[in-house]
Amino acid sequence: MVPTFVNALAVVIGSLLGLFAKKGIPDRLKIILFYAVGLTTLGIGINMTMSANNFLIVLGSMALGGLVGELIDIEGFLKRIGDNMQEGDFSTGFVMSSILFLVGPLTIIGSINAGLTNDGTLIYTKSLLDGISSTVLASIYGLGVMVSAGSVLLVQGSIVLLASQLSFLTNDIYLNDLVAVGGIMVLGIGLKILDIKDTKVGNFLPSLIIAPILVWIVSFF
């Protein structure tokens, strides 16, 4: 679990730096940061999506996951947390940073590798990347980015502890479509950052669970 704690700490430290920087950044520079983060996020999403083995599985996962998320209103739940924190951008920062930090292949492969072999190299690499990203995101969205460190602890820690049962996810048959689903969600984040369309990305979180299930079902045919 040490690499996971290091990753969460990197998010906290990066967020603190971003929060301190936020107060001194002029509005016109914040706008260009929005564009930089938004366009880069779109690029990351496109790159992740191209890894798909079967876009029908990606579509099915997004559709089913989106329906489940909409019915239980995940986005609304996260927004209410933000309202309680009295921070307008809290839920936006929390959702976007949590997804960005957790849907990539480094999270899955790195956590499983750490759990099975005690090798945290990939997670340490990811920690550096997340620390840099959290600095930029926190300078724009504030406290919600720091709180996403809890998501890193919960999700990555769970994968590490369940590594022996989840090792099948490192197989390209499962991993590629799962990463592609995450890529579609990251694209949605990019659209939100650029103020093009609010796609309620949080409501698609169940898609990440549904994708491996659909791959497993299709493998019988």
pLDDT tens digits for 162-172? 877 888 888 88
How many Cα atoms within 13 Å fall on the side-chain side of residue 152? 34
Q: For residue 77, how far is the Cα from the chain centroid?
A: 17
Could you say which residues of the chain have pLDDT below 70?
81-88
Whole-number pLDDT of residue 82 = 61
Asked whether the beta carbons of 4 and 150 are under 8 A apart, the reply is no
Whole-number pLDDT of residue 83 = 61
Whole-number pLDDT of residue 66 = 93
Whole-number pLDDT of residue 86 = 55
Helices (H), the chain: 2-22, 27-49, 55-72, 74-84, 90-102, 105-117, 121-141, 143-161, 163-166, 172-193, 207-218
CA proximity to 175, closest of 48, 36, 39: 48
**Residue 181 CB neighbours (<10 A):** 29
Whole-number pLDDT of residue 88 = 57
Whole-number pLDDT of residue 54 = 92
Whole-number pLDDT of residue 9 = 92
Joined together, the tokens standing for residue 32 give: 């260009």
Whole-number pLDDT of residue 81 = 65
* Residues with Cβ within 8 Å of residue 143, at least 6 apart in sequence: 15, 19, 85, 87, 90, 93
